[in-house]
Amino acid sequence: MGTGKVYLVGAGPGDIGLITVKGLEAIKQAEVILYDRLANPKLLEFVPADCELIYCGKLPERHILRQENINDLLVKKAQEGKMVVRLKGGDPGVFGRVGEEAEALAKHQIPFEIVPGITSGIAAPLYAGIPVTHREHAESFAVITAHDKSEDGKPVLNWDSLARGIDTIAFYMGVRNLPFICENLIAYGKPSNTPVILIQWGTFGRQKTLQGTLADISDKVKEAKFSNPAIILVGPVISLREKMKWFENKPLYGRQIILARTSESPSDLAKELAAQGADVIEFPKWKRITLPVNPEILAKIDSYDQILFTSPESVDEFFNILYENQFDIRRIRAELFGVSNKSLKALRERGFIPLPADEMSVMGKRLVVCDTQWEKDENADVWLTSEKVLDSQFFPIFRRIFDDAVINTVVFPNSASVEPFMRGLRECGIHLMENVQIVSMGKKTMNAVMKQGLPVSEMPKQATKEALVELLASKPIGIM
């Protein structure tokens, strides 16, 4: 067994669209991932099904894994021949302790690569409408750690250079030391009316800001009970914010949505909601277990008049089985049908012209190809290609996601999503269906929701993503 390789990857500041192409490719190939609290857990959706996930998250004064243990784990997993990804929030070289991890790997002669990421000190201000440099306002920029290894955690800095020589300063994770920071900047010459802004959970839909000056921001933070994770930005360039803010103007900014999921892959609906400014968590996470090929059905595939596919995954599995068994698909004479738009799309991508399920005839010999248990049909054979089950490895990940988020909206896209969603919550040990707005995409879905004993506030005029966005944008959070 040869030595593996380690990729030290910057996950970016939160918005998963900000990860680099190279970083995402490393995640998709990983056999082991060690990930931090501030690396968006939604990036783990892209990992292979058999990837081992190890949480290394840290909170002040409470470490899940200490740095030396993380170093040892990276070495150990690589020595087992694994392809290992160390996934770190922001950029690994900006207060990410990548130097210590790289040194440990080099000491044991383990190959590694460092993949840069977008650091939050630049990204969070931009999502708040503030460039850290500007020809008229700021020609210099500094990133500063707002705590150090000393007993009281107060950083020892060259305050004179910061106060007099730097136009824009980004302090990382410094809410607790904010009074100390403001006092020193003023004492060393920074005007007390210098603008300051705190940006919490920057680039997430839950992003919040609090603005003031060096003179009053500490009192404002105390009154608002503002907390980390947050970037503290100091400098006159903050004055551009009212002209340039864009993220907070999105129609669904502030919405923290759970979208009930029945598929393994990310949905177009989730992408659209996120594009409109919402935080979107697709729940639960599924994995599939391949089942043995049904030889009796395989032997008579060319005898069916109609074949119905219940999911895009069942389409892929069906044709993969035919290919592996050297079956010429030109022998299929059946009309092909799909239960969902995704199923129809998967068939079209293979060169077929399928029809919706409701256009099936009652006449003829019929086969249903499915990846979950299907209601019995006396007039059809059923071919179960795989079994879809809840992925329990993601249960603790979802618990951490929900601890950080404040969910205010739950969307059920179809009736089939309701029961598995509620079962997933029970198995995860998560309780969040109180004080949330519930939206059903259609009457059939609404009936399924009510059957579970849940209240339904409203449903969009049509079961489309555009109509859903319009509904959510027209209703203040908390009022449906």
pLDDT at res. 376: 67
Each residue of 435-450: pLDDT tens digit? 899 999 999 999 999 9
Single out the residue of 252, 254, 258, 277 nearest to residue 438, CA to CA: 258
pLDDT at res. 122: 97
Contact 433, 410 (CB under 8 A): yes
Domains of the chain: 5-118 (3.40.1010.10), 122-249 (3.30.950.10), 256-285+391-474 (3.40.50.10090), 289-389 (3.40.50.10090)
pLDDT at res. 267: 84
Mean pLDDT value of segment 60-68: 72
pLDDT at res. 223: 96
The larger pLDDT score, comparing residue 457 to residue 331, is at 331
Lowest mean pLDDT among 61-65, 72-76, 161-165: 61-65
Burial 85-118 (b: 16+ CB within 10 A, else e): bbbbbbbbbbbbebeebbebbeeeebebebbbbb
pLDDT at res. 477: 77
3-class DSSP assignment, residue 372: coil
The larger pLDDT score, comparing residue 57 to residue 480, is at 57
Choice among 15, 82, 83, 173 that is catalytic: 173
**Alpha-carbon separation of residue 287 from 2, 48, 199, 225, 397 (angstroms):** 30, 10, 36, 40, 15
Choice among 5, 22, 58, 287 that is catalytic: 58
- Known catalytic residue at 83: no
Mean pLDDT value of segment 297-321: 93
Distance between CA 100 and CA 92 in Å, rounded?
Answer: 11
Each residue of 388-432: pLDDT tens digit? 888 988 999 999 899 888 999 999 998 889 999 999 999 998 888
Distance between CA 368 and CA 353 in Å, rounded?
Answer: 17
pLDDT at res. 435: 85
Contact 19, 46 (CB under 8 A): no
Reading the block at residue 175, the tokens are: 């809410």
Reading the block at residue 251, the tokens are: 């129609």
pLDDT at residue 309 is higher than 80: yes
pLDDT at residue 9 is higher than 60: yes
The phi-psi region of residue 64 (left if phi > 0; otherwise alpha if psi is between -120 and 50; otherwise beta) is: alpha
pLDDT at res. 61: 54
Average pLDDT, the chain: 92
Any bridge partners for residue 233, and if so which?
170, 197
Confidence of residue 58 (pLDDT cuts 50, 70, 90): low
Choice among 15, 36, 91, 279 that is catalytic: 36
Mean pLDDT value of segment 445-464: 89
pLDDT at res. 27: 98
Each residue of 205-252: pLDDT tens digit? 999 999 999 999 999 999 999 999 999 999 999 999 999 999 999 999
- Known catalytic residue at 450: no
Any bridge partners for residue 112, and if so which?
6
Q: What are phi and psi of 200, to 5 degrees?
A: -95, 140
- Known catalytic residue at 36: yes
Distance between CA 104 and CA 99 in Å, rounded?
Answer: 9
Percent of the chain surpassing pLDDT 90: 75
Residue carrying the six token digits 């650091």: 119
Mean pLDDT value of segment 69-73: 95
Reading the block at residue 214, the tokens are: 């060096």
